[in-house]
Amino acid sequence: MRCLDTMKVTEILRLREMELNLRDIASAVDCSKTTVGEILNRCKDCGLTYEEATKLSPERINELIYPDSFGRKQSKDEPDWEAIYKRLMSSRRINLYYIWEQEYRKDNPDGYSYSYFCAKFNTWKEDTGKEVVLPQEREPGKELFVDWIGDTLPCVVDYETGVIHDAHFFVATLGDSSYPFVEAFPNETQINWNQAHIDAFEWYGGLPKILVPDNM
């Protein structure tokens, strides 16, 4: 297909966000419905959104949408998606944005935008089968998942001494609805563990059939 003016590309993305159909968008930007569909597919493949398009230069938009004609070579090798995936799976404190911003962009300042980075990562997951999930059917009211959250928060002040103490958080989640209950305690003793369950049962207004602790 011929390269479309980047202003029209941005307008196509804007109108699509307004939920206009392909025919109406084509009429508004004066091009064919087929061209509109192709542009939207290319934007989806590279992760380009309307919000990001308004912040990019025409040159950069062309590089993303027409990589064969305007694409630039990466200054670094393709990211090690396998290593990135393992890092994400190994810690709940790390997300894809952190890896992109704190690690990838520091070594590749002219590399992929965040949206394109995510799109490439998702494509890699689909190609390698990492996108496959094992659905688990939950029975309402059957299971209650319980745990200490792990992280503490220095947010409790002793008004007599001014000393700040850490709060420990108990978390319970219903298996079917994922409806949560959270309560803070001064420590993770057995008596607080028991009291947290009592408070959770009162909060939910009932008892589950099974309690599922996480590696307590």
Higher pLDDT: 15 or 130? It is: 15
Domain ranges of the chain: 6-70, 81-128, 143-213
* Span 115-152, pLDDT tens digits: 888 888 888 888 888 766 656 677 888 999 999 988 88
Q: How far apart are CA 21 and CA 23, in angstroms?
A: 6
Q: At 107, is the secondary structure helix, strand, or coil?
A: helix
| SS3 of residue 161 by DSSP | coil
**Alpha helices, DSSP H only, in 110-189?**
114-128
Question: In this predicted model, what pLDDT tens digit does every residue of 56-84 receive, in sequence order?
Answer: 888 888 888 887 677 554 444 688 898 89
The answer to pTM > 0.75 is no
